[in-house]
Amino acid sequence: AKTNQGITIGFDDNNCEKINIDIYDILLKDSSDSQENKNINEKNFEINCIDIDFDLLTPDEIDYDVDLYIKSKELSNYFSELIQFGEDIYINCESNLLKLSSLSGDNSMVQKLSFDQIERYEVVEDYNIKTKYKLNYLNNISTLHKVFPIVKLCIQNNVPLCAYFED
């Protein structure tokens, strides 16, 4: 429904197989007039109801090896620079160093971050992560830095990256 339109949704008790939707324009009379609003330009819809059997798909709970909390604006800047050098981002995480790299042909870029530059991190003992993701997707979601100042990246070998944006 648009401005100055009303909508009524219901169904007939005798026929529960259909939903009735009425959309109508409301013509407002002069405010000094005590008469009811007048309905014009009415549209009526009758839609069949369907029964949907579905299985809810939920991902398995994963305890990631590395959880990094980083300023989302900084991460967005890293991604926008790396995307100039290739379609994939390689994440190498070991000891106290995080390396983000991208390459295309003979050109490459490596961004090294010490964990001092990261807001917070949680890692398992003796971790060593070397994984690859599509940089285009990460670059697109990193535009949320305008709304969320911190992003949590959950990383593990051979598992999709998980990103949580926090206030």
Higher pLDDT, 3 or 147: 147
pLDDT of 1 higher than 90: no
| Alpha-carbon span 16 to 38, nearest angstrom | 30
3-state secondary structure of 159: coil
Give the pLDDT of residue 35.
47
Token representation of residue 136: 């285009």
Give the pLDDT of residue 83.
93
30-55 confidence digits (pLDDT tens): 544 444 555 467 889 999 888 777 77
| Alpha-carbon span 78 to 98, nearest angstrom | 12
| Alpha-carbon span 125 to 96, nearest angstrom | 12
CA torsion angle 94 95 100 105 (round to 10): -60
71-117 confidence digits (pLDDT tens): 999 999 999 999 999 999 999 988 778 899 999 888 899 999 987 88
pLDDT band of residue 17 (cuts 50, 70, 90) is confident
* Spatial contact of 84 and 35, defined as CB atoms under 8 Å apart: no
Model pTM score:
0.62
Nearest CA-CA partner of 36 in 46, 25, 28: 28
143-157 confidence digits (pLDDT tens): 888 899 999 999 998
* Spatial contact of 151 and 163, defined as CB atoms under 8 Å apart: yes
Q: What percent of the chain has pLDDT over 90?
A: 39
